[in-house]
Amino acid sequence: MNNSNITTNYISDEIHEECGVFGIYDLDGNDVATSIYYGLFALQHRGQESCGIAVSDTEGPKGSVKAHKGMGLVNEVFTPEVFDKLNGNIGVGHVRYSTAGASTHENTQPLVLNYVKGTLALAHNGNLINTPELKDELAYTGAIFQTTIDSEVIAYHIARERLKTGSVEEAVKNAMLKLKGAYSLVIMSPRKLIGARDPFGFHPLCIGKRENTYVLASESSALDAVDAEFVRDVLPGEVVMINKDGIHSDLSMAQPKKAKCIFEYIYFARPDSCLDNVSVYNSRIMAGRILAQTHPVEADLVVGVPDSGNAAAMGYSFESGIQYATAFVKNSYVGRTFIKPKQSMRESSVRIKLNVLKDVVKGKRVIMIDDSIVRGTTCERIVRMLKNAGATEVHVRISSPPFLHPCYFGTDVPSDDQLIAHNNTVERIREMIGADSLGYLGVDRLSELIGGDTGFCDACFTGNYPIEPPKEDIRGEYEK
């Protein structure tokens, strides 16, 4: 979970994913840094705190890795001058929002590790739940840590396993035996690009191809950004190794039980992405349809809170026959410099990001669709904005069930005492946010968002964790 007081104080009612990963290997020897840049740009929604790129030349000397990392958005950290120095035909990239470890430059990724067998550059999406044990094991054998993130623990264990194995991919597989939790990994070694996904498949990872170039990415929309064709998803528990001979797969870590994060479909992923053969856009349309079936109300307009609420609002409109309308204008240029306002500015923060089209809602009964309510503060302000703009009624519909439990697998759902639904009834929440009515998506309908598949994680709604959660909340910065 994010330890930056600045960010937490400002974004008081938004859920964030930990990060996005991207990897590429051009077998023809062309430089790949700019492709990584465009891939990360397409994954920017998954993390806005920091980003980085590491590249190497597979025909050059082993161990020569060029990297550039920094705090901020992709287009802030990378300039034309930076790319002049990032020469190489294989590389990995990362965008980060911290859920474990502080928001500092030291914790930016990819992590580049120099060790006796050469180099590794690693980018990680997810969150481990046994970091303290893994870190202690390393510390008592002399490891010195440069960061406070679990990704460094993963990198160290892979490096140690590599001393006992014949290949990097085998070392990754052996390290996976020790890891508990969520991880989608992209790893660069001097001559190979490796992708790995935890056996539960919490977070996505896919493979793409562009002519003689292979790509690994958190979402298929990042493949589109670099003109690569989607090949397939990396399967839960799979390790893929890409070298000059193509793609090689190891499924020995796969297991029957899957636990894909359902919130990827509700909120995290871009609507133009396809995760595990399921369209994110269609998932959100279905969520809206279900809300119209289960929580109908007489109204004049259906509107979505940008961006993830828009498709669900369209689904509600399709199912109910009530007109869909655009009621909000979103400021798309809110960068890192904006997320440092004084406490006195918190009240105006939502209005700076969103503004209401008064001519659309004035005198109308409005159904407002949003993806979630965390603490309730943002939802209350948006409802008030609609009513101040002249809406006669505001009926709130949420395209997910109520958040009742924290997440330990790479999503910053906070502890239960900070969740508005944990200690309040739906009716009480309705009063608190000032809505005329309130309805949530039912837990029993979640599987319909992904075509009836039951292999998903809904622990933040139900408390049914696929892995027993840690006895103590270790999602903050772990230090000994």
Q: Residue 119, Cβ neighbours under 10 Å: how many?
A: 18
Counting residues of the chain whose pLDDT is more than 70, the rounded percentage is 89
Contact (CB, 8 A) for 133 and 470:
no
Mean pLDDT over each residue of the chain, to the nearest integer: 89
CA angle 349, 127, 25 (to 5 degrees): 95
Tokens of 305: 């809170």
Torsion over CA: 328, 332, 333, 338 (sign): positive
Question: What does the pLDDT read at residue 7?
Answer: 29
- Please identify which residue in the block is written with the tokens 């119209």: 292
CA 81 → CA 60, 84, 343, 479, distances in Å?
22, 5, 37, 36
pLDDT at 428 over 70: yes
Question: What does the pLDDT read at residue 260?
Answer: 97
Contact (CB, 8 A) for 239 and 249:
yes
Confidence of residue 444 (pLDDT cuts 50, 70, 90): very high
DSSP codes joined into one string, 231-282? EEEPPTT-EEEEETTEEEEE-TT--S---EETHIIIIIS-TT-EETTEEHHH
Tokens of 228: 């690569």
Contact (CB, 8 A) for 316 and 292:
yes
Cα–Cα dist 366/355, whole Å? 16
pLDDT at 189 over 70: yes
Q: Which segment of 137-141, 201-205, 206-210, 425-429 scores lowest on mean pLDDT?
A: 137-141
Report, as residue numbers or ranges, the catalytic residues.
19
**Helix H segments across 321-447?**
346-353, 358-361, 377-388, 426-433
Residue 167 DSSP one-character state: S
Confidence of residue 143 (pLDDT cuts 50, 70, 90): confident
Question: What does the pLDDT read at residue 473?
Answer: 65
Strand order across the 229-233 sheet: 65-71, 50-56, 90-96, 19-26, 213-217, 206-210, 229-233
CA 267 → CA 164, 372, 376, 392, 398, distances in Å?
41, 8, 17, 28, 11
Question: What does the pLDDT read at residue 476?
Answer: 52
Question: What does the pLDDT read at residue 333?
Answer: 65
Confidence of residue 435 (pLDDT cuts 50, 70, 90): very high
Confidence of residue 15 (pLDDT cuts 50, 70, 90): low
Phi (first) and psi of residue 424, to 5 degrees: -135, 145
- What stretch(es) of the chain map to CATH 3.40.50.2020? 280-454
Q: Which residues pair with residue 19 across a beta bridge?
A: 96
Cα–Cα dist 477/17, whole Å? 16
Q: What mean pLDDT do residues 388-406 have?
A: 96
Question: What does the pLDDT read at residue 14?
Answer: 60
- What stretch(es) of the chain map to CATH 3.60.20.10? 5-258
Confidence of residue 479 (pLDDT cuts 50, 70, 90): very low
pLDDT at 311 over 70: yes
Contact (CB, 8 A) for 67 and 94:
no
Q: Which segment of 21-30, 173-182, 318-327, 404-413 scores lowest on mean pLDDT?
A: 404-413
Q: Residue 442, Cβ neighbours under 10 Å: how many?
A: 15
Q: Strands 437-440 and 393-398, how do they pair?
A: parallel
Q: Which of helix, strand or coil describes residue 379?
A: helix
Half-sphere exposure (Cβ direction) of 368: Cα atoms closer than 13 Å:
33
Question: What does the pLDDT read at residue 6?
Answer: 26
- E-assigned strands of 276-412? 278-279, 301-304, 323-324, 328-330, 354-356, 365-370, 393-398
pLDDT in tens, 37-51: 999 999 999 998 899
Tokens of 17: 């994913």
Question: Which fold, 5-258?
Answer: Glutamine Phosphoribosylpyrophosphate, subunit 1, domain 1 (3.60.20)
pLDDT at 325 over 60: yes
pLDDT at 17 over 70: no
User: Helix, strand, coil: what percent of the chain each, to 5?
Assistant: 30, 25, 40
**CATH code given to domain 280-454:** 3.40.50.2020
Confidence of residue 9 (pLDDT cuts 50, 70, 90): very low
Question: What does the pLDDT read at residue 312?
Answer: 98
Question: What does the pLDDT read at residue 85?
Answer: 93
